[in-house]
């Protein structure tokens, strides 16, 4: 068990975008190791805080990790008779709620640590995403980095592109137009990025398109590069204005293909059934539930 309490652990997991489960004792009767409302956090390889230890905690931890391995996102209720089912001498009964949160799939790779990137990271740091921030100039990175951001200092940023996870969003915001072009080529060769955003003017976009066609890229491939990057509805050339425009575009992209489910969470009747008095030996864990789903302005690089 890690030394962090469940509140700190929950916050850290959410900020990192790490898959985790929040375990809560909803109710108990008889002799139990912890009272109702006791909580713990479970990840793939750590536990934080405790709901009492013993076979109860061991069993619930394993159930939570099974759900996390399935990328499950939702809630499950488990009635746990400590004596009959788990062999614990205290012999009481507890009802446990397991809330699982899948790992964040919203990944952003940001290349460049200039003025726009400095403002953009303030916004991305407050969003449910995981950010890799890349530049050759380590001295430009601020002292305070958001918890969801990983710094990568390298003399060759282009070599980082092939290893980006499929579905990542790439933002090319460097100070060097030739480097921007090389990054753009590498991004198109990657072939599995969700979004490629390139900072610059329409003139820069036209020049890059001409070079990319000469390099053998198709019109369809080239159209995947968004330059100028950002929402046309958010005008302005100030670094924060450009950053807001870029962040807005990413947020719209993240929600574009998502639809809210008709039913969310555990129905009230199921909660009532699990918590009603009765023989806990005859109660069964709930079945898996529905997941909670969970023309542009000119820019100067």
Domain ranges of the chain: 6-103+260-282, 107-256
Listed in sequence order, the residues at least 6 apart from 38 whose beta carbon sits closer than 8 Å to its beta carbon are 24, 25, 50, 51, 52
| Mean pLDDT to the nearest integer, 185-214 | 96
Q: Say what the pLDDT of residue 146 is.
A: 92
Residues 231, 252 contacting (CB under 8 angstroms): yes
Q: DSSP letters of 107-143?
A: EEEEE--SHHHHHHHHHHTTSS-EEEEEES-GGGS-S
Q: How confident is the model at residue 291 (pLDDT cuts 50, 70, 90)?
A: very low
Q: Say what the pLDDT of residue 90 is.
A: 59
Residue 280 pLDDT more than 50? no
CATH number for the domain formed by residue range(s) 107-256: 3.40.50.720
**Chain mean pLDDT for the chain:** 85
Residue 284 pLDDT more than 50? no
- Residue closest to 280 by CA, chosen among 99, 89, 77, 54: 77
| Mean pLDDT to the nearest integer, 291-299 | 41
- Which stretch of 65-69, 213-217, 263-267, 288-292 has the lowest confidence by average pLDDT? 288-292
Element (H, E) at 197: strand 195-198
208-220: per-residue pLDDT in tens? Answer: 999 999 999 999 9
């Amino acid at each position: 068990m890690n030394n962090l309490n469940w509140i700190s652990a929950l916050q850290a997991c959410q900020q990192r975008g790490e898959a985790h489960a929040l375990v809560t004792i909803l109710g108990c009767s008889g002799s139990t190791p912890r009272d109702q409302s006791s909580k713990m956090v479970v990840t793939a390889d750590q536990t934080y805080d405790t709901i009492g230890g013993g076979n109860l905690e061991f069993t619930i931890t394993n159930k939570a990790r099974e759900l996390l391995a399935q990328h499950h996102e939702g809630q499950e209720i488990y009635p746990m008779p400590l004596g009959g089912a788990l062999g614990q001498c205290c012999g009481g009964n507890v009802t446990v709620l397991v809330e699982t949160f899948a790992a964040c799939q919203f990944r952003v790779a940001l290349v460049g640590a200039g003025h726009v990137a400095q403002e953009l990271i303030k916004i991305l740091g407050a969003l449910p995403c995981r950010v890799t921030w890349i530049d050759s100039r380590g001295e430009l990175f601020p002292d305070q980095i958001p918890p969801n951001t990983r710094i990568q200092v390298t003399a060759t940023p282009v070599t980082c592109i092939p290893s980006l996870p499929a579905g990542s969003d790439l933002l090319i915001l460097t100070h060097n137009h030739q480097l921007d072009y090389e990054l753009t080529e590498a991004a198109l060769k990657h072939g599995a990025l969700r979004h490629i955003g390139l900072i610059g003017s329409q003139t820069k976009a036209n020049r890059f398109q001409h070079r990319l066609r000469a390099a053998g890229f198709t019109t369809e491939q080239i159209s995947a590069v968004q330059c100028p990057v950002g929402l046309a509805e958010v005008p302005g050339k100030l670094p924060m204005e450009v950053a807001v425009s870029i962040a807005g575009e990413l947020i719209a992209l993240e929600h574009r293909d998502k639809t809210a489910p008709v039913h969310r969470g555990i129905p009230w009747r199921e909660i009532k059934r699990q918590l009603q008095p009765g023989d806990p030996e005859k109660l069964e864990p709930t079945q898996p539930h529905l997941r909670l789903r969970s023309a542009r302005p000119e820019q100067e690089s």
